[in-house]
Structure 1
Amino acid sequence: MSADATESWKLTLPCTRDEAEAIDVSEGLEGIAGSPVIITSEEIEDDPDSWRLDAFFSGKPGKAAVAAVRALAPSSAGVKATPERVPDEDWITLSQAGIEPVHAARFYVHTSGNKGDVPPGAKAFQIEASRAFGTGHHQTTTGCLIALDALKVNGKRFRNIVDIGTGTGLLAFAALHLWPRAHATASDIDAAAVDVTRENAAVNGVPLGAGPGTLALAAAPGLEHPLLIGRAPYDLIVANILAGPLIGLAPTIAMALAEGGTLVVAGLLDWQADAVTAAYRRQGLVPSGRTQIGDWPTLTFRKRARYGAARTTRLGPGGANDAPGFGSW
């Protein structure tokens, strides 16, 4: 007799910190029955070899699903992988029980099952562990939240913002909170991530739309979408993706950035920072800040005014060209 598809199952494996940080659930698990929610956690503090991977399934996982999860943690090759039935409880809540809220600058990110006490003056966002990256728990997302807050503290004002590779939508939500009169856009190459962003926007009261103070969504690789092209140039671009795509997209991102505009990038490791910086320097951007969390830097750039012969002159949403502190575009 086959297991009830509504049963909850869990597979636990040891892993390393490097394996945990490299996990991309969108790769290798698509199409597998009971596609799992993956949670990684530190077993022994400051020991990069003592981490744990928990995969929660709705329904007993088959051999293919177990093999796919095991492939996420090659260091567990010698460990027996035995799924266990979870008692009839809310398995999503269980999977998130070990996720602690994140307090980054003025932002507080939590799940529905572990809100805790929101610090006074903090802006809280409820972001569930899901099939999209960007819950605020990875150093790259946290670094971007801190970098965005620093821009606000330093008096920067933005009117046209885009978050490329938005994942859960968290960084777009944070930017719109900091600059509530801005036009904001969030995009991701994965249509599922755009759906997750739409769901999270509803949960967090972020209005969707095309006008100031609202968030527009698009599924697209990089900036290859009529909406993204039509709303350029942007005075703030956030791209929390990976070093390779960041370097490959440098000419396109630089072209979409308004003169004097700001770029925040993350998703790269320390040893990749020089190559990413060089790619954007070649496009007329100069480093203006760096936030470091562990091995993961978040880099901030400013685009030089009147750089190159092909100067961007088209206006962004609203038509005005008086973004304070950034000149005209």
Structure 2
Amino acid sequence: MSGEWQPQSAESWKVTLPCTKAESDMLTAAEPEFEVDPPAVLMTSEPDPARPDDWQLDVYLGAQPSAELLRAIVGLVPSAAGTAPKIERIEDADWVTVSQRFLEPIRAGRFYVHTAAHAETIPADAVAFRIEAGRAFGTGHHETTAGCLEALDHLALAGHVYENIIDVGTGSGLLAFAARALWPDAMITASDIDPVSIDVTAENMAINVIPADAITLIAADGVDDPALRARGPFDLIVANILAAPLIELAPDLIATLRQNGTIVLAGLLATQAADVLAAYVSQGMMPSSRIDSGDWSILTLVQAS
């Protein structure tokens, strides 16, 4: 997010363009500014985790954009060349209210995930994490991440205790944070193929007052990585990615799992659950529980005895 302002009137405008994930990362890192008053606010988001390269740029403005400003906005996104931006007038609401609408606080099990705009609404009985929308997937507002929070909470409520946990494809770090809250004595690792996600997780650890040495952060492709192998074997693996890589990674994930360990799989559509499950059952895992959240499924598996 770039720029902070308090609207002078109830009128706001939003300009929307598709972008790639690489462009989203660049925009977030560079935080481009325009000579407009009040300042523009840029936000990027991942509308659909099943299409991980297809992101979206939203530019919020306190006045109707000029043709020159629209050309400048389109120029930020080379992949959208020739695409007409979507322009919306937002009446009777300031941009903060509208832009945060899809980021209302989420309650998943004992967890409460919120942005800075809702820091005053934390329930007394909740374990709260502040996660802003930004450069990495996993704000808790998508069904897959919220479902994983519920799955972890269910494991803790059932009395499971884990000593060595890894969050594969950590994104924002949220699931690693939740695991630490549930099993504070465990050794916890958070990994992601994208180094930006590792940077974002470190930033979110600071925001949520999690000591830097409480979670080991590793940029790695999958789990067949020397740094990750040195941390294993793990007795709890959480992998919130996508169906195809979950199937591809099945042998490596199971190879780094301790005897009688647990795996939580997410990022798969309900229609893909049978194929993902088959890849793990064929290698000695058995289903323990399943959470269906919208079009998505979260699978918990344990090693067959």
Same fold (TM over 0.5): yes
Question: Structure 1 counterpart of 2:44, which letter?
Answer: I
Partner of 2:51: none
Describe the superposition over 1:211-258 as per-residue Cα deviations: whole angstroms up to 9, x where unpaired. Answer: xxx210000111143221101110000000000110000000000111
Describe the superposition over 1:119-153 as per-residue Cα deviations: whole angstroms up to 9, x where unpaired. Answer: 22110000010100000000000000000000000
1:26 aligns with 2:2: no
Alignment length (residue pairs): 266
Partner of 1:227: 227
Is the 1:99–1:114 contact (alpha carbons within 8 Å) kept by the matching residues of 2?
no
Alignment of 1:177-256 (within 5 A): 177-209=181-213, 214-256=214-256
1:55 aligns with 2:61: no
Deviation at 1:207, TM superposition (A): 1.9
Partner of 1:81: 86
1:166 pairs, out of 152, 165, 170, with 170
- In structure 2, distance between residues paired with 1:7 and 1:112: 13
Partner of 2:65: none
Q: SS in structure 1 opposite 2:117?
A: coil
Question: Structure 2 counterpart of 1:255, which letter?
Answer: A
Is the 1:66–1:81 contact (alpha carbons within 8 Å) kept by the matching residues of 2?
no
Deviation at 1:101, TM superposition (A): 0.4
**TM-score after normalising by structure 1:** 0.72
Is the 2:19–2:57 contact (alpha carbons within 8 Å) kept by the matching residues of 1?
no
Call closer, same or farther: CA 1:304–1:108 in 2, change over 3 Å: same
Deviation at 1:62, TM superposition (A): 3.7
- In structure 1, distance between residues paired with 2:3 and 2:127: 35
Call closer, same or farther: CA 1:102–1:116 in 2, change over 3 Å: farther
Is the 2:270–2:296 contact (alpha carbons within 8 Å) kept by the matching residues of 1?
yes
1:147 aligns with 2:151: yes
Describe the superposition over 1:22-61 as per-residue Cα deviations: whole angstroms up to 9, x where unpaired. Answer: x9962554546757523589xxxxxxxxxxx761379974
Is the 1:110–1:126 contact (alpha carbons within 8 Å) kept by the matching residues of 2?
yes
Deviation at 1:115, TM superposition (A): 2.5
Q: SS in structure 2 opposite 1:133?
A: coil
1:38 aligns with 2:44: yes
- In structure 2, distance between residues paired with 1:146 and 1:114: 21
Q: Runs of 5+ in structure 1 lacking a partner? A: 14-22, 42-52, 72-76, 306-329
Partner of 1:11: 15
Root mean square deviation of aligned Cα:
3.2
Is the 2:25–2:135 contact (alpha carbons within 8 Å) kept by the matching residues of 1?
no
Partner of 2:303: 303
Call closer, same or farther: CA 1:256–1:117 in 2, change over 3 Å: same
Call closer, same or farther: CA 1:39–1:153 in 2, change over 3 Å: same
Larger deviation: 216-225 or 180-189?
Answer: 216-225
- In structure 1, distance between residues paired with 2:146 and 2:20: 20
Call closer, same or farther: CA 1:159–1:28 in 2, change over 3 Å: same
Question: Structure 1 counterpart of 2:59, which letter?
Answer: F
Question: Structure 2 counterpart of 1:55, which letter?
Answer: D
Call closer, same or farther: CA 1:167–1:93 in 2, change over 3 Å: farther
Call closer, same or farther: CA 1:172–1:93 in 2, change over 3 Å: farther
Q: Runs of 5+ in structure 2 lacking a partner? A: 6-12, 33-41, 48-55, 62-68
Q: SS in structure 1 opposite 2:229?
A: helix
Question: Structure 1 counterpart of 2:114, which letter?
Answer: H
Partner of 2:275: 275
Percent of matched pairs sharing the same residue: 46
- In structure 2, distance between residues paired with 1:175 and 1:126: 15
Question: Structure 1 counterpart of 2:128, which letter?
Answer: A
Q: SS in structure 2 opposite 1:115?
A: helix
Call closer, same or farther: CA 1:24–1:155 in 2, change over 3 Å: farther
Deviation at 1:109, TM superposition (A): 0.4
Question: Structure 1 counterpart of 2:43, which letter?
Answer: V
Deviation at 1:111, TM superposition (A): 0.5
